Amino acid sequence: MTWRAALERQRSLLDFALLALWRRRGKNLSLVLVYGLTVFAIASVVLLAGALRAEAAAVLAGGPDVVVQQLSAGRPALVAAEAVARLGAIRGVSRAAGRRWAAYADPVSHATFTVLAPEGFEGRPGEVELGAGAAAAMRWKPGEKVGLLGEDGRWHFLEVRRLLGEETALVSTDLVLLAGEDFERLFALPPDRFTDVALTVRNPRELTTVARAAVGALPGGRAVTRPEMARTYEALFDWRSGLASVVLLGAVLTFALVAWDKAAGLPADERRELGVLKAIGWETGDVLAAKLWEGVVISVAAFLLGVLAAYLQLFLAPAPLLAPVLRGWSVLSPPLRLAPSVSPLELATLFFLTVVPYTLATVVPVWRAASTDPDAVMRS
Amino acid sequence: MTLLEAREVHRVYHQGRPDEHEAVAGVSLAVEAGALTVLSGPSGSGKTSLLTLLGAMARPTSGRIFLRERELTSLPERFLTEVRRRTFGFVFQQPNLVRGLSARQNVMLPALPLGLDHAALGRRADALLEQLSVGHRARARSDWLSGGEAQRVAIARALVNDPEILVADEPTANLDSALSRQFMAIAADLKAAGKTLLLASHDPIVTDSPAVDRRVAMRDGRLEGP
Amino acid sequence: MSPVRPSSRLGLAALAAALAVAGCLLHARTLRAPERRAASAALVARLGLTDLALFTEASYTRHLALADRLAPFLDHPQAREHFPSGALTAPPAPPEAR
């Protein structure tokens, strides 16, 4: 057969398959919908995970090389200034900077903010810079005075100098930046106490060595290196995590149901039609090809529908369906204006898993009926 | 000239089981080219079974079938289907049109897997439907056709690949007398056009028609008489 | 087949899908990820941040990279980890062999 005839043959068989699907269009449309929904669920998790991981990898690369914490009875404790000096003296450490930050729970809204007194705070004492989420939650605007409840029981009022940009929301949405003195006053802390210590290491290959030395220099201490921090974010939405497992399980069950329905056997009228096709001269291969097209059309349609819908809801819509899930018990909404980062391999795998098993499940029950003599098929 | 020949064919259904039944019990028959041959006999006489054997729709339990010099019974399924497609056109007792397709689409159905030019195939289908006086119903859904119209569409379908031999099993079973006579007129036209026809029927309008060249009576799976 | 073949209609639908995919790809570009990421990365470097501000439920969920395996259970040795974000994040990997 010439390639032109072969093409025309496939096209005609495809025509037949489409007409067959359209004949039972109610059932087939709902099938595409249900199957598409399954793909949508998986694709949403895959796309979101990919985007978050890509953002984390790109954005956190410039953070501290090693962070050293002090633990006391298993709980984080403050680090003294001379401990910071000791850490700075470790070989390979170019700089040891004490960080001052704390979790602040607003008594009114119950939102939790991260209050941070950075070394290079650009404002003056009495001023504060807010992350977009914090400002939105409390409806604070630049120029206004915000009230923070100190640990001494008194309210401290600070003027909002500016808001941190929306484009940095992913790392800054809950931040409250202020001067060191205000931090000390708010949390009733002396100036020589720090939350933890950030180390800058000259040689990146020595991170583990430095971390070990840091724990030695600070008894009861704990050191985390940047590669370890990066690994935490690579494991976001890992398949072993609760949400992803549940979605996957649901998808597998749905698919099994659909496949079982198909593979359980042909209804009598379909088998009779098969016999007619064979009696008018169709080969087994022709019948199987037409059935294969049916399976391909349904599964590819479901795939496209699911993935496009997942993309739309994650990257076009302002509030993805997964936002409430990610939000959990937080008061602040997670900043989910993400840039898509799709791994072609993941997408290809999803495509393969969506199309191939389903198409096979469609073809298998037809195989037996298609191979028998048309006479036998028509009599049964 | 002998076009189709059966030699000592048997057809046994449900072999080895309690409901074993021999539908064709040792039949030898030669079908002449260009002739209209009718297998007559009561229901259960085995004429439908013999027809399916001669039409390459089923294999005999024993015995051999020849198309000209070529033995069909030993052909693998793939080649048998090829023969079935090119040489035979089958008209069933029920029109057996595919639901949801138009009359025109049904007529084109046997030729779809051949990869022929689609537009040309469509024109051929239209021409055939015209010849059989159902051209005006070409785009109607097959479910909406009357019995007679459906039967004629089925005949057009059987003719789309321009087969040498037209095989029809009880073609007038669901037609009234007028339509039955019309069918035999069509059969006579096809014979005049050079086709070989093989019919199975117990309808007198068929068996007693002047277009019939040879009548073969069957009873209990065997041929009766000469 | 009738004037418009079903496969032609499918071809149109496939074209529409291809356009949608192309649209998504174009849209992905317009989100200007590199610029936004550069701004965030600069802030991270300036302030010495270690985490994305995703899960503000608790300190150890907000500062995921710094959390140790003990953090969720500080309240009581047998307390179960109870924040919903626990279903999304894996516990921190054990530190590299020191």
Q: What is the DSSP string of A137-191?
A: HHT--TTSEEEEE-TTS-EEEEEEEEEPPGGGHHHHTTEEEE-HHHHHHHHT--T
CB atoms within 10 A of CB C93: 14
Q: What does R_g of chain A's alpha carbons equal in angstroms?
A: 31
The minimum CA-CA distance between B53 and chain A, rounded to whole Å, is 9
SS3 C54: coil
Cβ of C1 and B118 within 8 Å? yes
Average pLDDT, chain A: 86
The minimum CA-CA distance between B131 and chain C, rounded to whole Å, is 19
How does residue A243 score in pLDDT terms, banded at 50, 70 and 90? confident
Q: Which residues of A touch C23 (CB under 8 A)?
A: none
| Closest residue, chain A, to C42 (C-alpha) | A62
Question: Which contacts (CB < 8 Å, 24+ apart) does range A180-184 have?
Answer: A180/A100, A180/A117, A180/A121, A181/A125, A182/A117, A182/A125, A182/A126, A182/A128, A182/A156, A182/A158, A183/A100, A183/A102, A183/A115, A183/A117
pLDDT, mean of residues B66-72: 89
Encoded tokens for A367: 């195989």
In this prediction, residue A107 carries a pLDDT of 85
Q: What is the pTM of this model?
A: 0.83
Q: Which residue has the tokens 């930050």?
A: A101
Q: What is the CATH number of the domain that holds B98?
A: 3.40.50.300
The minimum CA-CA distance between A61 and chain B, rounded to whole Å, is 59
Q: Between chain A and chain C, how many beta carbons pairs sit less than 8 Å apart?
A: 213
Q: C38-77: per-residue pLDDT in tens?
A: 888 998 988 888 888 888 877 777 888 888 777 766 766 6
Q: List chains adjacent to chain A, taking adjacency as at least 3 C-beta pairs closer than 8 Å.
A: B, C
* Confidence check: pLDDT of B226 > 60: no
Backbone angles phi, psi at B12, to 5 degrees: -115, 130
| Closest residue, chain C, to A237 (C-alpha) | C88
* Confidence check: pLDDT of B167 > 90: yes
The closest alpha carbon to A249, from A259, A240, A237, belongs to: A240
Q: Which residues of B touch A286 (CB under 8 A)?
A: 112-113
Q: Which residues of B touch A280 (CB under 8 A)?
A: 90, 109-110, 157-158
Most A-contacting residue of B13, B98, B165 (CB-CB within 10 A), to test interface: B98
In this prediction, residue A129 carries a pLDDT of 92
* Confidence check: pLDDT of C90 > 80: no
**What sign results for the dihedral spanned by CA atoms A356, A358, A360, A366?**
negative
Cβ of A281 and B84 within 8 Å? yes
| Closest residue, chain B, to A2 (C-alpha) | B115
The closest alpha carbon to C71, from C84, C79, C55, C60, belongs to: C60
CA of B183: how far to CAs of A336, B131, B132, B171, B180, in Å?
Answer: 73, 12, 9, 8, 5
Q: A72-106: per-residue pLDDT in tens?
A: 887 888 999 999 999 999 999 999 999 999 999 88
* Confidence check: pLDDT of C97 > 60: no
pLDDT, mean of residues B83-112: 90
Q: State the Cα–Cα distance between residues A331 and A154, nearest whole angstrom.
A: 24
Q: State the Cα–Cα distance between residues B72 and B79, nearest whole angstrom.
A: 9
SS (H, E, C) B25-64: EEEEEEEECCCEEEEECCCCCCHHHHHHHHCCCCCCCEEE
Q: Which residues of A touch C20 (CB under 8 A)?
A: 304, 308
CA A276-A277-A280 angle, 5° bins: 85
In this prediction, residue A346 carries a pLDDT of 86
Cβ of B100 and A16 within 8 Å? no
Percent of chain B with pLDDT over 90: 51
Query: Domain tally for chain B?
Result: 1
The closest alpha carbon to B154, from B123, B186, B185, B177, belongs to: B186
In this prediction, residue A379 carries a pLDDT of 58
In this prediction, residue A380 carries a pLDDT of 46
Helix A25-59 vs helix A3-23: angle between axes, to the nearest 10 degrees? Answer: 110
Cβ of A12 and B113 within 8 Å? yes
Q: State the Cα–Cα distance between residues B41 and B29, nearest whole angstrom.
A: 15
* Confidence check: pLDDT of A313 > 90: no
Out of C42, C50, C83, closest to residue A67 by CB: C50
In this prediction, residue B187 carries a pLDDT of 92
* Confidence check: pLDDT of B195 > 50: yes
Out of A23, A280, A375, closest to residue B109 by CB: A280
Greater confidence (A361 vs B213) lies with B213
* Confidence check: pLDDT of C79 > 80: no
CA A112-A115-A121 angle, 5° bins: 155
SS3 B13: strand
* Confidence check: pLDDT of A207 > 70: yes
Cβ of C2 and B105 within 8 Å? yes
Q: B128-158: per-residue pLDDT in tens?
A: 999 888 999 999 999 899 888 998 899 999 9
Range of the domain at B17: 2-224
Q: Which residues of C touch B104 (CB under 8 A)?
A: 1-2
How does residue A185 score in pLDDT terms, banded at 50, 70 and 90? very high
The minimum CA-CA distance between C84 and chain A, rounded to whole Å, is 5
Q: Which residues of B touch A7 (CB under 8 A)?
A: 115
pLDDT, mean of residues C12-41: 86
In this prediction, residue A15 carries a pLDDT of 94
Instruction: Give the ipTM of the model, two decimals please.
Output: 0.85
In this prediction, residue C2 carries a pLDDT of 52
Greater confidence (B64 vs C73) lies with B64
* Confidence check: pLDDT of C98 > 60: no
3-state helix, strand, coil in chain A (%, to 5): 55, 15, 25
Contact A311, A340 (CB under 8 A): yes
* Confidence check: pLDDT of B47 > 80: yes
Encoded tokens for A148: 């923070």
Q: A320-353: per-residue pLDDT in tens?
A: 777 777 777 777 777 777 878 888 888 898 898 8
